[in-house]
Structure 1
Amino acid sequence: MAFSFTGQLTKQTAVAYARVSSKGQKPDLERQVEYLSEYASEVVRDVGNGLNYKRKGLRAFLERAVCGERLKIVVASRDRIARFGWELVDFIVQKPGGEIVVLDQRVGSAEEELTQDLLHILHVFSCRMYGR
C-alpha cells in the first residue's frame, strides 16, 4: 500500500479503524492494524463488507460521535469506512467536532470509482445469492 498523508496526528487523540471484507483477508487486516498503530493508540477492527453498516466497530465509533465525543478517526482509505454513505458517516463524526483522517488520498477518476463500486456490489450480491 502506498499512502500519501502528510498532516499532523497526535497518537493519543486518534482512533484507527481497520476493516476487511472476509475472514480470509485476516493478513490484510493485520497489515492495516500494524500501519494504523503508528497513528493511533486505539485500533478498532471489523470484518464485514463495505455495504454492511451493522459492523460492531463502525457502530461503536458512530455511537461515540452521536453521544458528543470528539473523535479523530484514522483510516487507510475511504472505502474502509463504507463503500457508500461516506458523507453521512463523515457528517456524524464531524457534528461534535471530530474528523476522519484518510491516509491514502489518492483519488481515481469518476469512471474508476464507479467501476470499483459496481464490481463490489456485484460481488456482495453474488456471495449472498450463492451462500458464500
Structure 2
Amino acid sequence: MTPTIVSPNKGFPLLDSRDFGRAETVNVEVILTFEHGQEFYDVDVIVDATATDFDTVEIDVIAQILEASGRDLSDLAKISLCYMIGEARLGQDAPLNAIVDHLIRFSAKYYFQPDQRDPHEQALVDALGIASATANLKVA
C-alpha cells in the first residue's frame, strides 16, 4: 500500500500516519543550525514501525521535525538530533530498532552546506526544498 501524502503548514510531503502498519511515537531533541543562529526544541514524531523502506521513513521523520520549526529553512546549515527511546523499548522491538539504527547511522547529524553535503543529504534537500540559500562552509 502506498502511503497517502499530506502537506501541513510548511508544505512538506508528510506520510499520513493513518496508513502506517503500526505507528510508534518517538521523542526527538532537535538543534537546527542556521547561517545566523540556532533553534532548539523537542518534538514527537510518528514512525511506521512496520516500514521496510528506511530512506522514506527518514525523509518523513526529518519533515516532521522541520515542520515543528518556527524558522525559514532556506539557510539551514545543520540538523543535530537525539532520539529519546528507552533501551528496554528498543530491546523488545526489533523492527523499531532497525529503523532507529538507520536514523542514527550518521550520528543523527545532517550537514547542508553545499560543499559538505553527501548524496544522502542532497536527497533530503531535494525532497524537502530546504537549505536553498545555505552558503559553503567557510574555513578560516
TM norm. shorter chain > 0.5 = no
Whose relative contact order is higher, 1 or 2, with alpha carbons under 8 Å and at least 6 apart? Answer: 1
TM-score if structure 1 supplies the norm length?
0.30
TM-score if structure 2 supplies the norm length?
0.29
Higher helix share: 1
